Amino acid sequence: EAGVAQSPRYKIIEKRQSVAFWCNPISGHATLYWYQQILGQGPKLLIQFQNNGVVDDSQLPKDRFSAERLKGVDSTLKIQPAKLEDSAVYLCASGPTSGGTSYNEQFFGPGTRLTVL
Amino acid sequence: GNSVTQMEGPVTLSEEAFLTINCTYTATGYPSLFWYVQYPGEGLQLLLKATKADDKGSNKGFEATYRKETTSFHLEKGSVQVSDSAVYFCALYSGAGSYQLTFGKGTKLSVIP
């Protein structure tokens, strides 16, 4: 079974530029997550999708970050404009169903390492 | 709110040494607890989990016991190998109010031959 795919693996941009990340979840997984992992910290959830609807985006900085999941499969995360503090690894994960009161395992991709200069 | 505190790293051990990585948590309700591992250049992988008090999760020689009285979930392994070198994350999932994983900061383990 193929895992979660992400691209690009690395990206270097200057502040105020725009950047987009792509995620292809495991086939059949309804739930998709984007996490931000700053160096030395654990991953922090940015947004959670169930199919193509948003379940939780309470920690997404909506003035500069946006995400979409068209057709309930692939997803893109965009930052526009980027700031220095956005330098981090952006992880995508997918799971078979939404968590609710019971946890369902999340499968993580390798991440995209973003450096903002 | 929910939070996870795990021991600071990095931790460097010789092969076959005993490993303990401490993890304590604060959560509402009755959370499920997890250890994730991140090998260099790879995504996070679930290592083990425990869903209720006194449960013991185990996998690949690693163990952790869900201790409700001390709100802890310490990771242990009796004899580490070079291939165990990775970053280890403790995490919790609480169905009460926040349906998301909360991670600790991670502990980097290096095992030397």
pLDDT tens track for B20-47: 999 999 987 788 999 999 998 888 999 9
pLDDT digit string (tens) for B56-91? 999 999 999 999 999 999 999 999 999 999 999 999
Per-residue confidence band for A93, with pLDDT thresholds at 50, 70 and 90: very high
Query: Looking at residues A78-91, what average pLDDT do you find?
Result: 97
Average confidence (pLDDT) over A31-49: 92
Residues of B in contact with A4 (CB under 8 A): 43
- What value, to the nearest 5°, has the Cα angle with vertex B60 and ends B58 and B63? 30
Q: What percent of chain B has pLDDT over 70?
A: 96
Looking at the complex, does the CB of residue A95 fall below 8 Å from at least one CB of chain B?
no
Q: What percent of chain A has pLDDT over 90?
A: 72
Residue B89 Cα, gap to closest chain A Cα (Å) = 7
Whether residue B95 and residue A110 make contact (CB cut-off 8 A), yes or no, is no
CA distances A44 to A47, A92, A102, B101, B103, Å, are: 9, 11, 19, 8, 7
Nearest CB among B95, B100, B104 relative to A42 is that of B104
A56 touches B at CB < 8 Å: yes
pLDDT in the model for residue A75: 97
pLDDT for res A40: 86
Share of chain A above pLDDT 70, in %: 93
Q: Mind listing the pLDDT tens digit for each residue in B87-107?
A: 999 999 876 555 678 999 999
Q: Does A94 touch chain B (CB under 8 A)?
A: no
Contact (CB<8Å) A103/B100: no
